[in-house]
Each structure stands twice: as C-alpha cells, then as structure tokens.
C-alpha cells in the first residue's frame, strides 16, 4: 500500500504545479510556484510523521476511515469553492 501511495504521490505535485498558471497572474507566478513547492515539502514531511504518530495510537482501520472521511471532505470543499 505504501508503494502505491508513493507512486501516486509522484503525480500529485506536477499536476498541481501545472494548474498554477490558471489561477495566478503572470507576474505572481514565481511566488505562487515557490509557495506551492514549500507547501508540498512541509506536507510531505509532516504527513509521514503525522501518520506514523497516528498509527501508534490508532488501528490501521481507524486511520483508513479517517483518510476516507478527510478525502471526501476535501473533494466536497473543492467542488464548493470551484
């Protein structure tokens, strides 16, 4: 499962970075790219660390359920905003 997540994670940053020019003006592109890259780095480190900490306190089933709930909430929020 970790291999699949790591493989799919390789597609997330290029896909998100390709959308940046659609949302920001040309003169703000460098700043937006640097903010996006910084966010991906922080979330990459924090996500694995946070997941490891959660795994010590909860069962894998609880963590999987929380992941599904947060993912569905994120997609609902994205559809509402966009």
Of the pLDDT bands very low, low, confident and very high (cuts 50, 70, 90), residue 80 is low
- Answer for the pair 73, 66: CB distance below 8 angstroms, yes or no: no
Which pLDDT tens digit goes with each residue over 20-34? 888 888 998 888 888
Which pLDDT tens digit goes with each residue over 46-66? 888 888 888 899 888 988 888
**Two tokens, residue 67:** 């992941």
Q: Return the number of other C-beta atoms located less than 10 Å from residue 1's C-beta.
A: 7
Q: Return the number of other C-beta atoms located less than 10 Å from residue 20's C-beta.
A: 14
Of the pLDDT bands very low, low, confident and very high (cuts 50, 70, 90), residue 74 is low
Question: 26, exposed or middle or buried, with CB in 10 Å at 0-12, 13-18, 19+?
Answer: exposed
**Percentage of the chain lying above the pLDDT 70 cut:** 85
**pLDDT attached to residue 79:** 57
């Amino acid at each position: 499962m970790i291999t699949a997540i790591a493989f799919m994670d390789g597609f997330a940053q290029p896909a998100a970075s390709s959308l940046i020019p659609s949302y920001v003006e040309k003169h703000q592109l460098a700043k937006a790219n640097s903010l996006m890259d910084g966010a991906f780095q922080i979330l990459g480190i924090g996500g694995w660390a946070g997941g490891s900490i959660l795994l010590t306190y909860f069962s894998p089933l609880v963590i999987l359920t929380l992941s599904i709930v947060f993912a569905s909430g994120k997609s609902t929020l994205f559809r509402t905003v966009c």
